[in-house]
Amino acid sequence: MKTVLIAHNYMKKSFAGMSYFLAQHLVACGYRVVFLSYEPKGLEPIVTDNLIVLPWPGGKRPNRPQALWFYLKVYFRYRPQLLVGHFVGAIFPSIVNKLFTLGKAKNIYVYHTITDAILLDGVEGRSVNTEIARKGRFYRRFIDQIVTPSKAGEADYKKYYPAKPVKVVHNGYIPAEYTKDVELAYRKKELTFIGRIDNCKGIDVLLEGFMAYLKKEPDTDLSLNIVAGGNKLDAYKQQYKSEHIRFLGRVDYEHIPDAIGASFFVVAPSIFDNLPTVGIEAMSFQTPVIASNRGGWPEIVTDGVNGYMVPPDADALSVVFGKVSKLSLAEYRRLCDNSLKKFGDCFTVEKYVLGMEAIIRAYLP
């Protein structure tokens, strides 16, 4: 039986759900799937004839000797012929698969984090150049196929690591059951930033742009919610004081639909981003996005159709805030409807699964 190994997180929620449903689909197609999962913590093993789900040992990132020894035992028991690997969980399986099959096993690596973002944010504990060199050696020696969720990711990979073929498969997402109250969101006029406080996310530009807008329109109905945490949060609270800005900290994932769905717009002026999950989530909850015209955002947002595209620039954001504040309810409803349509056309988990199946069958018919 042909065996596929998936190294990701075995759970339905958020973008990890695309790997969960890929596993189910491959089993239905006659493959045996071994799934190594880092999260959720406390996951119990699942062992059936064609689906084996195993948590990495120790509850820590799978990049320690304990994880290597664990994977060696997994490999010799199941001998996967192909890997679909995400993040650090792909490292030991990729190396072992290649070494013990003398290169015959095929390794597919999903290129999520683009290098331009790493260059902007830095790498904890080592230099950026060291990180790029390390990844380059890994891709050249142990990876057969790169899959990336956006054309921006494809261009970024080819710029820094032009060693392996690249295919674009948009991330798929299973939305929570949620019905947006379009009229209520229109009346409340709440803009929402949701994500990490990293340089590449453009939060400084966002806050500067909103403050510039408030100077021009001090009596505006618009408000800005910052749903994020991090070391800089307290400093931002002190620097950007306004009754129109609320710093809400992190929220648990189960509250994400309410945070996004109740919003007038999601705002995401990323400087570098591959294919931001928050954009796909926003589309699925019928919420339009004010997005950067960089990275993967142009593949999610069409200017004036399901949101607005702007350079990650404070002045440009200030102008678009003035524009959306004057939208009629009918204009806003059209943006909301187009957002949901865009999600259905491009970002369902079914489309992701079929795209990945085609790549897998090319290597493992």
Percent of the chain with pLDDT over 70: 99
Q: Which amino acid makes up residue 291?
A: A
Q: CA 91, CA 152: separation in Å to the nearest integer?
A: 23
pLDDT over threshold 70, residue 295: yes
Q: Which amino acid makes up residue 163?
A: A
Walk across the sheet containing 289-292 and list its strands: 245-247, 223-227, 190-194, 265-268, 289-292, 307-310
pLDDT over threshold 70, residue 197: yes
State the pLDDT confidence band at 208, using cuts at 50, 70 and 90.
very high
What is the reported pLDDT for 125?
Answer: 59
What is the reported pLDDT for 230?
Answer: 80
Q: Mean pLDDT across the stretch 286-301? A: 97
* Residue 273 forms part of a structural domain: yes
Q: Looking at per-residue confidence, does 250 or 289 come out higher?
A: 289
pLDDT over threshold 80, residue 19: yes
Q: Which amino acid makes up residue 242?
A: S
What are the tokens at 86? 């995400």
**Structural domain boundaries enclosing 307:** 182-346
Walk across the sheet containing 82-86 and list its strands: 46-47, 51-55, 32-37, 3-8, 82-86, 106-110, 145-148, 166-168
Q: CA 8, CA 108: separation in Å to the nearest integer?
A: 12
CA atoms within 13 A on the CB side of 225: 22
Same domain, yes or no: 85 and 116? yes
Same domain, yes or no: 251 and 324? yes
pLDDT tens string 110-120: 999 899 888 88
The SS3 of residue 8 is strand
Q: Mean pLDDT across the stretch 182-198? A: 95
Same domain, yes or no: 244 and 159? no
Q: Mean pLDDT across the stretch 176-198? A: 94
Same domain, yes or no: 144 and 205? no
* Residue 327 forms part of a structural domain: yes
Same domain, yes or no: 122 and 248? no
Same domain, yes or no: 352 and 331? no
**Alpha helix stretches (DSSP H) within 217-296:** 233-239, 256-261, 277-284
Same domain, yes or no: 304 and 314? yes
Q: Global pTM?
A: 0.94
Same domain, yes or no: 87 and 195? no
* Residue 251 forms part of a structural domain: yes
The SS3 of residue 222 is coil
Average pLDDT taken over every residue of the chain: 95
pLDDT tens string 231-241: 888 899 999 99
* Residue 94 forms part of a structural domain: yes
Beta-strand runs (E) in 111-168: 145-148, 166-168
* Residue 314 forms part of a structural domain: yes
* Residue 30 forms part of a structural domain: yes
State the pLDDT confidence band at 220, using cuts at 50, 70 and 90.
very high
pLDDT over threshold 70, residue 54: yes
* Residue 177 forms part of a structural domain: no
What is the reported pLDDT for 177?
Answer: 87
Same domain, yes or no: 190 and 113? no
What CATH number does the domain containing 129 carry?
Answer: 3.40.50.2000
Same domain, yes or no: 192 and 128? no
Q: Mean pLDDT across the stretch 24-48? A: 96
What is the reported pLDDT for 17?
Answer: 95
Same domain, yes or no: 339 and 353? no
Same domain, yes or no: 342 and 352? no
What are the tokens at 293? 């015209």
Number of structural domains (the chain) is: 2
pLDDT tens string 87-99: 999 999 999 999 9
pLDDT tens string 97-144: 999 999 999 999 999 989 988 888 776 656 778 889 999 999 999 999
Q: CA 310, CA 292: separation in Å to the nearest integer?
A: 5
DSSP character string of 270-284: -SS-SS-HHHHHHHH
Q: CA 20, CA 281: separation in Å to the nearest integer?
A: 17
* Residue 338 forms part of a structural domain: yes
